[in-house]
Amino acid sequence: MLGTLATLATLLLVGQTDTTIGVPAGTRLEVSNPSGSIVVKGWKQSGVRIHAEHENSDVIELTLEGSVLRVKTTTRRSSPREVNLIISAPASMPLMLSGVQTNIDVDGAQASVTVETVNGEVNCRGGSGFVSLKSVDGAVALQQAKARIDINTVNENVSVADVAGEISTTTVSGDIALRNVESSSVEAATVSGEVLYAGTITDGGHYHFATHNGDVTLGLPEKANATISVSTFNGDLDASFPVNVAGASKHRFSFGIGASGARAARIDIETFNGDIKLRRPAELDEQHE
């Protein structure tokens, strides 16, 4: 089935779905699917293709309101069944995707991406401008984004790699791993899990890493200039290179590396029950191999 936004108001698709709709530049895609999966793949064509695997009792509702194309799954049954959506959309199309018992996967996005699910994994490759990924009970992974990044989960791990931009990420029961990051502002916090950061330390930047029960491992580039503040109740500082912390308190102290001064980065590291490990980037690369 082929439609255009000029003629589409609301379209209900029953049974197996494979529909392509032409969209003008500037259209945002919003997808809501309570159960199953949402997969969005960026492509070079100007249309949006929606392919869905579902029962005849399930309905795919397509609605145009202004510059927003909405895709919503509903059912005639008392409880929702799984619907698996596979959508091809222009790579430059902003995305807002949501679900409940839903795994969500984005591949090849070149615009803003907002994802929210309750019980499902989130995987995103790409994104620009602003990327927000949230799950309550599911792991979250992001790669190859250039954006302001906000990632939250509760009961699983966070993995970020090959990105550039400000980063804020939290989890309650899970590890946080940030690798190959270019950023001047990073906040990463978990309650029960480890935190790892391997990326740039920019002059004037601010970096905050915290965990209640776990280690914090930080890769420090050799030419980094930073003032590092450490706070730990039951843990040790383990550095692969000499640091001058003579005369400092056992649990709370600061020290500088490189040409620490007014333009130096500020790095705050906190853990209640865990060690703080400062490593050369090459050492983290060896551990990752």
Rounded to an integer, the average pLDDT of 46-62 is 83
Rounded to an integer, the average pLDDT of 64-70 is 88
Closest Cα to residue 82, out of 112, 121, 55? Answer: 55
Rounded to an integer, the average pLDDT of 183-202 is 97
Q: How far apart are CA 248 and CA 237, in angstroms?
A: 12
DSSP class of 7 = T
Q: Identify the weakest region by mean pLDDT among 97-101, 201-205, 245-249.
A: 245-249
Confidence at 162, pLDDT banded by 50, 70, 90: very high
Non-local CB neighbours of 246 within 8 Å, separated by 6+ positions: none
Q: In sequence order, which ranges of the chain are alpha helices (DSSP H)?
A: 281-288
Handedness of CA 82, 4, 110, 148 (dihedral sign): negative
> What is the pairing mode between strands 206-213 and 265-273?
parallel
Higher pLDDT, 95 or 249: 95
How remote is the C-alpha of 211 from its chain's centroid? 19
Structure tokens at 76: 């005639």
Q: Identify the weakest region by mean pLDDT among 92-96, 207-211, 217-221.
A: 217-221
Q: How far apart are CA 185 and CA 201, in angstroms?
A: 9
How remote is the C-alpha of 150 from its chain's centroid? 6
Q: Give 102-138 pLDDT, tens digit per residue.
A: 999 999 999 999 999 999 999 999 999 999 999 999 9
In one-letter notation, the amino acid at residue 24 is P
Structure tokens at 230: 């450490």
Q: Identify the weakest region by mean pLDDT among 193-207, 217-231, 237-251.
A: 237-251
DSSP class of 31 = E
Handedness of CA 51, 56, 58, 62 (dihedral sign): positive
- The confidence score (pLDDT) of residue 7 equals 43
Residues belonging to the chain:
289
Higher pLDDT, 8 or 249: 249
Structure tokens at 187: 């906040």
